Amino acid sequence: MSGAERLTASEAARRLEAGSLTAETLIRDCLDRIEARAEVKAWCWLDRELAVAQARAVDRDGRPGLLKGVPVGVKDVIDTYDMPTQHGSPIYAGSRPFADAACVALTRLAGGIILGKTVTTEFANRHPRETVHPVNPAHTPGGSSSGSAAAVADFQVPVGFGTQTGGSTIRPAAFCGVVGYKPSFGEFSRVGIKMQCHNLDTLGILCRSLDDLSLMRAALLVQPRRPIDRSASTPRIGFCRTPAWDHADADTQALLERVVSRLSAVGATLEDVAPAPADILDQHRRIFEFEAARNYAYEYEMHADKLSPALRDGLLKPGRELPLSAYIEAIECAEMFRAGLDDVFDEFDVLLAPSAVGEAPEGLGSTGDARFNALWTLAWTPCVNLPAGTGRRGLPLGVQLVGARFRDEALLDAAAWIEARLGS
Amino acid sequence: MSGAERLTASEAARRLEAGSLTAETLIRDCLDRIEARAEVKAWCWLDRELAVAQARAVDRDGRPGLLKGVPVGVKDVIDTYDMPTQHGSPIYAGSRPFADAACVALTRLAGGIILGKTVTTEFANRHPRETVHPVNPAHTPGGSSSGSAAAVADFQVPVGFGTQTGGSTIRPAAFCGVVGYKPSFGEFSRVGIKMQCHNLDTLGILCRSLDDLSLMRAALLVQPRRPIDRSASTPRIGFCRTPAWDHADADTQALLERVVSRLSAVGATLEDVAPAPADILDQHRRIFEFEAARNYAYEYEMHADKLSPALRDGLLKPGRELPLSAYIEAIECAEMFRAGLDDVFDEFDVLLAPSAVGEAPEGLGSTGDARFNALWTLAWTPCVNLPAGTGRRGLPLGVQLVGARFRDEALLDAAAWIEARLGS
């Protein structure tokens, strides 16, 4: 092992370009790490030979594109033409889609290598699967992007794709102590990603460096790379406890207050802001139920016996009974929330908020609580989780930074400013 | 032949429920009609035996649900687990998806029968295929939902699914002389429909009666059926020529002016309204290009040689070169347009607008011009095409009615009021 598995995607891309690293070495190091750390159970499909063959082909081609052979783990609700896509469900056991998802095709086009498929909860919903927390296997890694978060945290792959409908990217990123990113709704293509809720689903990225987000954005948007601007001016920060604040545990509340103090001390302007109505999570829930109940019509009709009771009876059944008028009302509330946020972002560059209730909970029966994420999914705003120390059990904590919709680059600049001043 | 193929879906459902018609008879009549009129070339996949077997099963089950055995034609960009889905493209020749699209599963759940797959242009884009106009085979039926529109107009099936990203449902409905419906964006599930543009794609319905729209809405939304209210009060109508008015031919301009006079004469309040900025079609075009170029990443990378030059070089290539900032600007313009429309619909119940430039053009090389549709696709508002006489070549003309977003039922009520007063 050469240790290349520890590199971030940006570092690896630089060394691959310079020729001081080959794609094959990088892929082999990642594969060795995965083998050595099989107990994390982050992968549901991996073909060592296919991965090495892809790496050799990229090396032969002169390591093209922006990614130059950087490997990516793909959440198993995202289609790959050369690997199964099983959605964490027995319904899709062994299923092989015809085509790559757009994000997969764009990754390959940029010279990236699809390393394998990472574990998802059932249909990126609540019912958990086998992945454990890489720091303490008695704890959940979070979900639904469980495998991508655990694999990235554990140095098994530098970048993983996640998705977020409630809190499925930011929450596992916080639990596992990695950078998590949910872009502005609608920016990244969702073609070939199993659709759960068309007004909420967002492709997310898990990685170990903010720079990797600028790299992956360029690849996925087919745009020139726009590096993070670390000379950007001091951001105006709004501190947003959200209506769920009382559910945050003592570790999380203390962390957020500490971050507020520290950032104020280094010159940031910090003000409290409360843009979300008290019932915002109810609106999210209604949209989730109504859309999922219709979007999973095939699975519900044809394979109800293979759905978890949590999904079938806890989500799809009540969703079918929801009247259209309640759904429309929830959509209209969401639109008002978004319009109000536009005004908030006239005054602030970034909002600071909790990423999760606390550390990753013990046990694998639940992937944790999404109440600090669902409102931002509904908001369509870009969000980043920044790792920020550990809690009482020695597991990672994070803070969430929220930017204005379609101002993702400004959010990444502000996140870099804050990261540089957070300390350890 | 018993003539059941001439029934609308609502009439057929009533007779199926009463027991004066069996699903098998209805399906056989439709199949016979399709055979007799093979020259229309509306179907790209049809399995007579599978269709009859489905009908017998529905009869055996007591003709359940709202649809009770009513057959539906499914545009071939929509997945079916028991039939190929080929997207009008050689890339997907013979491809069989794993699952039904949600709209297909919901149709089956409501007791509907999937009769077969109807011809689409390549990926519901511009490159035409073999379907001809049922009245005059030298003319295009319109597109991209060419097969569904032609089959419904020609009494081959009472209901067809279409999709609309530019004008792909309303335009062929107008050309073929049937009712076309594009619902409020986001109401009908798009799961299992090939995604072209996530901010524009809408599942549409082609049929021969407004009542069929209330029937299909109930099935697709899993809601109790809400019949059209034909006692609704006189609608306040806004006459919207749109910025494309000068492109409407003399037949269309005369038709619209005639409809305005007639509706005024019977007591409707009619006022001119111009809610769309002059560059609205440019904004639609930018969103189309940017999204399609990324959404078709797999096809572009892996099968560029099998794409039509019109799609590959005319859409995807310029779309790749479009900067993200231009896309975001277009999305923001679209949002302002929608907000302005909300205000317009405080004053009007429905807008009256052209459905198309004129009659279906001669030749099969193009499916016609979408400039009277694309702005309403971008608007996310529900639209209906009502057949309204014929043009100088004896081919159908239609008028377009546009409602407030999420007020589809009010639009259908207003459309019924107008239909009853249009005369022939």
Is residue B414 within a helix (H) or strand (E), and if so which, with residue range? helix B408-422
Shortest distance, CA B294 to any CA of chain A (angstroms): 6
Angle, CA of B141, B144 and B147, to the nearest 5°: 55
* A310: number of Cβ within 10 Å: 15
Residue B190 predicted with pLDDT over 60 = yes
Burial of residue B306 (CB within 10 Å: 0-12, 13-18, 19+) is middle
pLDDT of residue A424: 52
Cα A187 to Cα A406: distance, rounded to the nearest angstrom: 8
- Considering only CB atoms, which residues of chain B are within 8 Å of chain A? 81, 92, 95, 97-102, 104-106, 108-109, 186-187, 189-192, 195, 198-199, 220-223, 291, 293-302, 320, 323-324, 328, 331-332, 406
CB-based contacts of A421: which residues, under 8 Å, 6+ apart?
A262, A263, A266, A268
Cα B151 to Cα B226: distance, rounded to the nearest angstrom: 27
Whether residue B294 and residue A222 make contact (CB cut-off 8 A), yes or no, is: yes
Prior bond to B355 cis, omega within 30?
Answer: no
Cα B290 to Cα B320: distance, rounded to the nearest angstrom: 7
Whether residue A298 and residue B189 make contact (CB cut-off 8 A), yes or no, is: no
Contact A133, A395 (CB under 8 A): yes
**Residues of chain B contacting A406 with CB distance shorter than 8 Å:** 328, 331-332
Cα A43 to Cα A32: distance, rounded to the nearest angstrom: 13
Q: One fold for both B4-221 and B236-279+327-422?
A: yes
Residue type, A170: I
Q: Hey, what are A157's tokens? A: 């792959």
Q: Hey, what are A392's tokens? A: 């009482």
pTM as predicted: 0.97
Three-class secondary structure of residue A46 per DSSP: strand
Cα B277 to Cα B275: distance, rounded to the nearest angstrom: 7
Residue B161 has phi, psi (to 5 degrees) of: -85, 135
* Count of pairs with CB atoms under 8 A, one residue in A, one in B: 114
CB-based contacts of B83: which residues, under 8 Å, 6+ apart?
B45, B47, B50, B74, B96, B114, B116, B117
Q: Hey, what are B12's tokens? A: 């057929």
Residues of B that are catalytic: 75, 144, 168
**Residues of chain A contacting B100 with CB distance shorter than 8 Å:** 297-298, 302
Cα A37 to Cα A132: distance, rounded to the nearest angstrom: 11
**Residues of chain B contacting A331 with CB distance shorter than 8 Å:** 186, 406
How many Cα atoms sit within 13 Å of A372 on the Cβ side? 35
Q: Hey, what are B79's tokens? A: 């997945």
Crossing angle (nearest 10°) for helices B408-422 and B250-265: 90
Burial of residue B157 (CB within 10 Å: 0-12, 13-18, 19+) is buried
Q: Among candidates B63, B300, B256, B350, which has minimal Cα distance to A106?
A: B300
Whether residue B199 and residue A221 make contact (CB cut-off 8 A), yes or no, is: no
Chain B residue with the nearest C-alpha to that of A110: B301
Q: Among candidates A37, A351, A310, A369, which has minimal Cα distance to A172?
A: A369
Mean pLDDT of B246-262: 97
User: Distance of CA B17 to CAs B9, B11, B63, Å?
Assistant: 12, 10, 7
pLDDT of residue A423: 75
Cα B179 to Cα B260: distance, rounded to the nearest angstrom: 20
pLDDT of residue B45: 98
Suggest the residue from A85, A188, A189, A316 to mutate for an interface test with chain B (most B CBs closer than 10 A): A189
Shortest distance, CA B227 to any CA of chain A (angstroms): 15
Suggest the residue from B78, B184, B190, B191 to mutate for an interface test with chain A (most A CBs closer than 10 A): B191
Cα A88 to Cα A367: distance, rounded to the nearest angstrom: 14
Residue B81 has phi, psi (to 5 degrees) of: -75, -20
Summarised one tens digit per residue, pLDDT across range B355-374 is 999 999 999 999 999 999 99
Nearest Cβ partner of B195 from A95, A191, A328? A191
Residue type, B265: A
Mean pLDDT of B248-272: 97
Q: Find the farthest-apart pair of alpha carbons in chain B and give their distance in angstroms, rounded.
A: 60
CB-based contacts of A322: which residues, under 8 Å, 6+ apart?
A286, A289, A290, A293
When the candidates are 3.40.50.150, 3.40.50.620, 3.20.20.370, 3.90.1300.10, the CATH number that belongs to B236-279+327-422 is: 3.90.1300.10
Q: How far apart are the first and last CA of chain A?
A: 28
Shortest distance, CA B352 to any CA of chain A (angstroms): 24
Residue B1 predicted with pLDDT over 80 = no
Mean pLDDT of A243-265: 97
Which CATH number applies to A4-221?
3.90.1300.10
A202-207 and A159-164 strand pairing: antiparallel
- Considering only CB atoms, which residues of chain A are within 8 Å of chain B? 81, 92, 95, 97-102, 104-106, 108-109, 186-187, 189-192, 195, 198-199, 220-223, 291, 293-302, 320, 323-324, 328, 331-332, 406
Whether residue A302 and residue B100 make contact (CB cut-off 8 A), yes or no, is: yes
For A61-157, where are the alpha helices, taking DSSP H only? Answer: 102-109, 146-153
Domain locations in chain B? 4-221, 236-279+327-422
How many Cα atoms sit within 13 Å of B266 on the Cβ side? 16
Question: To the nearest whole number, what is the mean pLDDT of chain B?
Answer: 97
pLDDT of residue B292: 98
Mean pLDDT of B7-24: 98
What secondary structure does DSSP assign to B81-145, as a single string? TTS---TTSGGGTT---SS--HHHHHHHHTT-EEEEEE--SGGGSS---S---SS-TTB---SSS
Mean pLDDT of A382-390: 97
Residue A15 predicted with pLDDT over 80 = yes
In this prediction the ipTM stands at 0.97
User: Can you name the residues that pair with B96 across neighbouring β-strands?
Assistant: none
CB-based contacts of A258: which residues, under 8 Å, 6+ apart?
none
Summarised one tens digit per residue, pLDDT across range B139-151 is 999 999 999 999 9
Summarised one tens digit per residue, pLDDT across range B289-348 is 999 999 999 999 999 999 999 999 999 999 999 999 999 999 999 999 999 999 999 999
Is residue B374 within a helix (H) or strand (E), and if so which, with residue range? helix B374-379
Q: How far apart are the first and last CA of chain B?
A: 28
Residue A38 predicted with pLDDT over 70 = yes
pLDDT of residue A2: 83
User: Can you name the residues that pair with B24 across neighbouring β-strands?
Assistant: none
Contact B202, B377 (CB under 8 A): yes
Cα B190 to Cα B202: distance, rounded to the nearest angstrom: 7
User: Can you name the residues that pair with B75 across neighbouring β-strands?
Assistant: B118
Residue A170 predicted with pLDDT over 60 = yes
pLDDT of residue A1: 58
Crossing angle (nearest 10°) for helices A9-18 and A23-36: 140
Mean pLDDT of A129-152: 98
Query: Confidence band (pLDDT; 50, 70, 90) for B424?
Result: low
Shortest distance, CA A315 to any CA of chain B (angstroms): 15
Residue type, B323: P
User: Distance of CA B376 to CAs A386, A394, B183, B253, B384, Å?
Assistant: 41, 55, 11, 19, 11
Q: Among candidates B223, B192, B156, B208, which has minimal Cα distance to B8?
A: B208
Whether residue A297 and residue B102 make contact (CB cut-off 8 A), yes or no, is: yes
Q: Among candidates A165, A224, A202, A193, which has minimal Cα distance to A102?
A: A193
Summarised one tens digit per residue, pLDDT across range B75-121 is 999 999 999 999 999 999 999 999 999 999 999 999 999 999 999 99
Summarised one tens digit per residue, pLDDT across range A179-191 is 999 999 999 999 9
Q: Hey, what are B290's tokens? A: 């940017």
pLDDT of residue B232: 85
B347-369 burial code (b ≥16 CB/10 A, e <16):
ebbbbbbbbbbbbbbeebebbbb
**Residues of chain B contacting A198 with CB distance shorter than 8 Å:** 186, 189-190
User: Can you name the residues that pair with B43 across neighbouring β-strands?
Assistant: B118
**Residues of chain B contacting A221 with CB distance shorter than 8 Å:** 294, 324
